Amino acid sequence: MFKCVPCAVEGCRRYALEDMYTCLHHAQNSEEVLRSLIASITDKHRHRDIVMTDVRLKDVDFSKVYLTTSDFARCVFEHVDFSNSKVQACFFDFCLFENCTFDGSDARHSVVAGSKLIGCSFKDTLLIHTNFMGVDAIDCDFSSSDLYYSNFSSSHLVNTKYIDCNLKNADFRFTDRDNVSFKYSNYEEASFS
Amino acid sequence: MKVFFHFSLNEYSNTYLIGPEDGGDAILIDPGHIDIELIERIEGNRFNIAHVLITHRHEAHTKGLGTLVKIYNPKIYAGSPKVFDMPVIKVKDCSIMDLSGITVEAIQIPGHTIDSFVYKIGNALFTGDVLYAGRIGKTAGVLEKALLLKGIKKRLLTLDERFLIFPGHGTISALKIEKLFNQELIDAMSSDDLAQLSHPSVLT
């Protein structure tokens, strides 16, 4: 698990990067550090315990990456491709995902709670035990995904599709839903109240 | 420190394996069910299960204990004096234990059961059935619920909201997420449930 060592800069509430004293924002030459972090993540090897919070990423190819127990809280992801990746037990809480794809990925046990998802695709994705509490999902597609024991409680879902999904034990209590489709899914095995 | 998450089909409960980076003595929290996948994970990381922490005595969290004792013979820590007639080290509220170099703080929060404990390890809270993602523990009655809420309010919600939550069932979470989006908790905290604590039977 990532270590949650506070950034050494007084007053900063972010966590320090792995093997560093400061967070990315307070690192010397932070752009270079970010580039090297992205390069190491995308080298197709398995990585764990990466801390990369409060970062804005656009048009980055994270397809087929393999990450576990890493922290990406409060990041902004625009057109980021996570397809066919493994991002297991990772924290993506309070992020903004715009036009990102997770198609064919394995994001089990991850936390996406409090995030805003706009135009994102999670088709054919393993989202077992994934925490989506309090998300705003607009124009998203979760079709053909395994959402066993996932949690969407207190979320706001608009124009979002859950077609042909496994929804056993999925939690949709306290959600606002506008034009949400559960066609061909076992929604009777999910909790709605 | 490594933390592994193991999902058991036995009442859909979660088991957690915590051990040092390079193998050695490790902690298992809530052995609801021991299967080959978990054993392979323990052995693959060269762990020896030296300590088992029980969050509460329900079978969904303890049923694999017999198998585990036969293989590893760990010390068992729980809020009850016995689990399945096995001797245990009785955990006390606020006690801080050094389990093979891993510091564990025990926080007693009764309500779901009288012996319910939350274990604090590093930046993680292993909450058992006290608090889950989006839910609070089930209770037998109004007074038990009031006790549970009082414990959550005083002992958990006062902690740094960046604490991660590893519950006995369901998805992992964080304290900030529960404060903002756990509607069951939010509703209960704003209702009259806490007022039940003035009842004499809770005070004795």
Please report the pLDDT score of residue A130 as a whole number: 97
Nearest CA to CA, how far is B85 from chain A (Å)?
A: 33
The answer, for A93 touching chain B at a CB cutoff of 8 Å, is: yes
Q: Which residue has the tokens 């970010």?
A: A34
pLDDT at B18 over 70: yes
Burial class, B112, CB count within 10 angstroms (exposed 0-12 / middle 13-18 / buried 19+): buried
Q: Which residues of A touch B183 (CB under 8 A)?
A: 153-154, 173-174
pLDDT at A3 over 70: no
Band of the pLDDT at A2, cuts 50, 70, 90? low
Q: Which residues of A touch B170 (CB under 8 A)?
A: 129, 149, 151, 171
Closest residue to A114, CB basis, from B134, B162, B181: B181
pLDDT at B168 over 90: yes
**Rounded distance, CA A184 to CA B177, Å?**
31
Q: Which residues of B touch A130 (CB under 8 A)?
A: 171
Residue predicted with more confidence, A74 or A2: A74
Q: Which residues of A touch B124 (CB under 8 A)?
A: 1
Is A1 in contact with B7 (Cβ distance < 8 A)?
A: no
Band of the pLDDT at B203, cuts 50, 70, 90? very low
Q: What phi, psi does A101 have (nearest 5°)?
A: -125, 135
Band of the pLDDT at B97, cuts 50, 70, 90? very high
Is B171 in contact with A89 (Cβ distance < 8 A)?
A: no
Band of the pLDDT at A150, cuts 50, 70, 90? very high
Nearest CA to CA, how far is A133 from chain B (Å)?
A: 6
Which strands sit side by side in the sheet containing B2-7, from one edge to the other? Answer: B2-7, B14-19, B24-29, B47-53, B75-78, B89-90
- Concatenating the DSSP letter of every residue in B97-134 gives EEETTEEEEEEE--SSSTT-EEEEETTEEEEETSEETT
Q: What percentage of chain B has pLDDT greater than the value 90? A: 76
Identify which of A59, A42, A58, A41 has the alpha carbon closest to the alpha carbon of residue A50: A41
Q: Render pLDDT for B62-91 as a digit per residue (tens, 0 to 9).
A: 999 999 999 999 999 999 888 888 889 999
pTM of the predicted structure, to 2 decimals: 0.92
How many Cβ pairs within 8 Å bridge chains A and B?
83
List domains and CATH numbers for chain B. Answer: 2-203 (3.60.15.10)
Nearest CA to CA, how far is B86 from chain A (Å)?
A: 32
Q: Which residues of B touch A171 (CB under 8 A)?
A: 134, 170
Band of the pLDDT at A116, cuts 50, 70, 90? very high
Is A111 in contact with B170 (Cβ distance < 8 A)?
A: no
The answer, for A129 touching chain B at a CB cutoff of 8 Å, is: yes
Angle at A165 (CA atoms; ends A164, A170), nearest 5 degrees: 145
| A23, B27, B109, B195 from B191: Cα distances, Å | 40, 38, 20, 8
Mean pLDDT, rounded, for B47-54: 97
Band of the pLDDT at B8, cuts 50, 70, 90? confident
ipTM (interface predicted TM)? 0.92
Is B173 in contact with A91 (Cβ distance < 8 A)?
A: no
pLDDT at B172 over 90: yes
Q: What phi, psi does B104 have (nearest 5°)?
A: -125, 125
Identify which of A135, A136, A47 has the alpha carbon closest to the alpha carbon of residue A88: A47
Residue B69's SS3 state is helix
Please report the pLDDT score of residue B161 as a whole number: 92
Identify which of A91, A13, A79 has the alpha carbon closest to the alpha carbon of residue A52: A91
Q: Which residues of A touch B181 (CB under 8 A)?
A: 113-114, 133-134, 153-154
Which of A27-31, A59-63, B146-150, B177-181 is predicted with the least confidence, judged by mean pLDDT? A27-31
pLDDT at B195 over 80: no
Nearest CA to CA, how far is A35 from chain B (Å)?
A: 27
Identify which of A93, A62, A57 has the alpha carbon closest to the alpha carbon of residue A78: A57
